[in-house]
Each structure stands twice: as C-alpha cells, then as structure tokens.
Amino acid sequence: MQRLSSYVLGAWHTGGDRTATLYDPTTDEAVAACSTDGIDFAAVVRHGREVGGPALRAMTFAERGALLKALSAAIHEHREELIEIGCKSGGNTRGDAKFDIDGATGTLAAYAHFSKSLGDKRYIADGEQVQLGRTKRFVGAHVRVPRQGVAVHVNAFNFPAWGMMEKLACAILAGVPVIEKPGTPTAWLAWRVAQITVDSGLLPEGAFQFLCGSVGDLLDHLGPQDGLAFTGSAATGAKLKGHPGLVARNVRVNLEADSLNAAVLAPDVDASCETYALFLQNLVTDITQKTGQKCTAVRRIFVPRDRVDEVRDDLVAALGRVKVGDPRDGESRMGPLASKAQFEDVRNGIARFSEFADVACGGAEPLFDKGCFLAPTLLVAKDARAELFHAEEVFGPVSTILPYGGGVEEAVELVGLGRGSLVSSIYTNDADWAEAYVLGAGCWHGRVWIGSDRMAEQALAPGMVLPAMVHGGPGRAGGGEELGELRGLEFYTQRVALQGFSGLLEGKFGG
C-alpha cells in the first residue's frame, strides 16, 4: 500500500500512526494511506510567508509565467503514469483521467500565456489615470500588488490534478505562495503531481507546500494578508467561512460550493434542430463524465411540459448505451463513484428524490457485488416546484427532468429557486428568448451557456471550465470567483489607489 506524504518546510513528512486510508472504488482494495500528524502548521504558514513570498515577489510576471509554462511541461511528461493513478485511485475512465490531467496542464499553460500581457512588471495597472487637481499634474491611478501572505487551497476530491493546479496557477502568477490540501479520497493523484512539482525544482522554496491529510489547526494561523480558497460542499464552505479566526482577522475567503446547475430547453427547439441533438449529447456527458461528480454537471433539466415524454425517452435510450464498468477496461464509458462514502451518499440521495419523482432509468441499487458502481440515473419530477429539487444536490450520475410551461418568465423563476449556480445552459434559436433569459436569470449564475444551431458544430460543452472565463457563482454556489484570465489574480492581490504627480505615477506605475 502506498504511503502518501506532505511537503512542508522544504522536506517530505510522512505523518504518524493515525492515518486516513484510501480505497480503489472499483475493487474496494486499500491502496494508500496518509497522515499530517506531527506537522507544525504555524511554521508551515510562516515558511510560506517569509521564504516563498519574498522569492516570488522578487520575480516579474513574465518570470513567474515562465515557471508555470515549464511546470505544465514537467507534469505532462508523466501523463500516462498519472492517468493510471487516476483510474486506480479515483475510479476514472481513461477519458475522465485525461480530462483532469490535461485540465491541469492546460490551465498552467494558459496562465503562462496570460502573463505575457503583464510583461516585466511586479504590479498590475488597473485603469487609466484620473485628473484630481486643478491641472493634470496631480492625478490618481489604481494598481494591484501581491498580498504578502499565503494562499491556502482546500480542493475537492473530484479533480485532484486540475483543481489544485487551476488555483496554483493564479496564485503563483500573482506572486503568492500556496499551501495545497487535496480531497483525501483521491489524494494519491494530487500527491504524485505534488512530487513532480517539487522534483522539478521550478518553484522557489516555500512557494509550494502540500498537505496530504487533515489541515489540523492550520486556519488558526492565517492573518489579514492570507487567503483561503475552498471547493466542496456548501455545508463545509459555510463552516469555513464562519471560522472565528478568519472572521476576526478578515482573512479573504473564496468559496466554490454545491451547484444545482440547470439546462433549459426552449420551446422553439424541436427534434429536427441541431440544437436538440446538442442538448441530448451534453446532458449525457454531464450525467456520465466523472460519474457525474462535477461541480458544473446539470442537476435540473427544464423541459416544456408537452416535450417531457420525448426527452425522457431519448435520454433513457442514450444513457442505456453507456457501458458502466471497470474504468481500466477500454470499453467502459463510466466508472464507479470515487469512494464508499460518496457511493452511499448518492444512493441515499436517489432514494430521497424518488419519493418526489419517477425513476426513468438507473436507481439506487448497486450494479455489482463489489465496488461503488451505480447506473446513470434519470428522474422525472412529479412537481417541478418541489423544494427538494432546488435545495439538494446528489453529487453523482443523477439528473432530474422538471416540466415547465415553455415561457421564459416561468423558466427564469424556476431556475432561480436553486438560489445560485455555477452555470446554466439554455438551448434556443430564438434570440429574444435568450436575451430575456440572460437578463432574468443571469444574476443567479456565474456563467450562462447559450446553445443554438449556429454554434452547435463548434461548441465546447457547458460543463467545461475554461481559464479565460470566470468560474464561480452566487448564493449556494459559494459567492466566489476563480479564473477568468487575469481576473483570477484579483483574489491574491490588493487594489491600491495612488495619488501624486502624473509623471511619477506614469513612469513607475503606468500601464
């Protein structure tokens, strides 16, 4: 069994006897163990602040971007090994494992590219100068400078590589050292990526530390220059955001939490439209990719009431063609849930939902005697307004059809019952319908994806998180924001208003 370790204070630390055990969700075999016992978390924070921070801030954006580009290449060299670990430790099919790993290296490379616009500076110009005095000699300007703390990243289990590296890319480019904590059930893959990162020697000492296991009292040592970025459940996110020490010291907190993402089929789209085929294709992908364990997966499918039977039958047929099995089998298109706890949580969720919906396919019964396998599950709500569908996420291969009348106002109202999501996708060739939906529902979403015949052949799926676009959402989605090109650096930098002689500000802090 593999013993996973933490990288802190410039060395690897294996922890004590109190360990968390990781299992292969395909075979139920114990495959790894980890522990953070014995780590001095206060010293870890100081090491990042006092060693890693100054080293990063001494570099320009261009130099930090070059590090990210080289790190992307270093991780890519181990792609096949990482795919194998992803299959064994996380229940990923080969395609799902590649999705995670390529997302990690792709985001690093993207932020290396974004750094070129910042060049050899150590600050970011934020807007134009503003005349403040009687003449243009006295002006004001805004700049962003790196915060002089650490960034603690508590990542989810579903994307152990991508989730870690998308946060790291923004922080390192901004000039802020990171302390990474992966989700424990799939931490083996994150640990191997951490090993590659350390062995590459690319990042300055103290710029990257890695905790495999409990965070202990780490949060007690964060201060006003530090930040905490969390991806996971809304309940855990709320608990972290309310941590007394973080509140008392005004530590920045960025949350990406549960998201009851909605797909809406507009009434103008019939079976003859390319948009309808795209609608079905994207839904099958969202239900089955990563076994439905994606923060951007569609949980609520809004369909005009007179089209429900048609959509249900078409989705059941498409999901029925998805082979579920050992993810290392090249014919399998969906593997197991990532852990036994996740497996039981999803089963219980399906059982609760089944009281308010008809099961069109799948269900809560295990597919096999061994492992954490469930079938893709499609439900049809008896009442689209039932609170459960808009209040609880079943984080697995599960989605629910919710009938509506077809009007955009009703669609906006029903989608809003979810109280905030990462992404909503709509499928329509009616520009006015799309405009009304965006203006009505946009306030509840970090992103609205608009599918139509004119983009169907070139569209990336709505579940794809892209470095150039903002990722996050209001309300129950956490209220946070990540990525979005250089917008992703805002969490790690401080906006400073400067006032002084125009020549000085232009010469030293001009764009």
The whole-number pLDDT of residue 18 equals 85
Residues 6+ apart with CB under 8 A from 356: 381, 382, 383, 386, 388, 389
28 in a structural domain: yes
Based on the domain organization, do 253 and 270 belong to the same domain? no
130 in a structural domain: yes
Can you spell out the DSSP letters for 305-372? GGGHHHHHHHHHHHHHTPPBS-TTSTT-SB---SSHHHHHHHHHHHHHHTTSEEEEE--SS-SSSSSS
Nearest 5°: phi and psi at 30?
-70, 125
Based on the domain organization, do 228 and 139 belong to the same domain? yes
Strand partners, 420: none
Based on the domain organization, do 341 and 461 belong to the same domain? yes
CATH code, 62: 3.40.605.10
Based on the domain organization, do 321 and 411 belong to the same domain? yes
Report the alpha-carbon distance of residue 229 to residue 166 in Å, rounded.
11
Based on the domain organization, do 407 and 284 belong to the same domain? yes
Based on the domain organization, do 54 and 178 belong to the same domain? yes
Based on the domain organization, do 194 and 340 belong to the same domain? no
476 in a structural domain: no
Based on the domain organization, do 277 and 413 belong to the same domain? yes
Report the alpha-carbon distance of residue 276 to residue 45 in Å, rounded.
51
Whether the CB-CB separation of 402 and 303 falls below 8 Å is answered with: yes
Angle, to 10 degrees, between the axis of helix 187-200 and the axis of helix 79-90? 160
357 in a structural domain: yes
456 in a structural domain: yes
How many structural domains compose the chain? 2
Q: Which two tokens stand for residue 29?
A: 């075999």
Based on the domain organization, do 412 and 392 belong to the same domain? yes
The label of the residue with tokens 């590090």 reads 67
How many residues are there in the chain? 511
Based on the domain organization, do 58 and 206 belong to the same domain? yes
In the annotation, is 295 catalytic?
Answer: yes
In the annotation, is 212 catalytic?
Answer: no
SS3 13: strand
473 in a structural domain: no
Mean pLDDT by 10 residues, the chain (511 residues): 93 88 92 92 97 97 97 97 92 93 96 94 91 91 96 94 96 98 94 97 97 93 96 87 92 91 96 94 96 95 96 97 92 94 95 96 94 97 95 95 95 95 96 96 95 89 92 92 94 96 89 70
The whole-number pLDDT of residue 162 equals 95
Active-site position among 180, 256, 393, 482: 256
Strand partners, 228: 152, 253
| 497 closest CA partner among 51, 205, 141 | 141
pLDDT in tens, 199-225: 999 999 999 999 999 999 999 999 999
The whole-number pLDDT of residue 346 equals 96
Based on the domain organization, do 488 and 447 belong to the same domain? no
CATH code, 336: 3.40.309.10
Whether the CB-CB separation of 152 and 219 falls below 8 Å is answered with: yes
Q: Which domain holds residue 363?
A: 261-466
The whole-number pLDDT of residue 487 equals 95
Q: Which sign, positive or negative, has the C-alpha torsion 119, 121, 125, 129?
A: negative
472 in a structural domain: no
Active-site position among 166, 295, 372, 482: 295
Based on the domain organization, do 498 and 460 belong to the same domain? no
pLDDT in tens, 396-438: 999 999 999 989 999 999 999 999 999 999 999 999 999 999 9
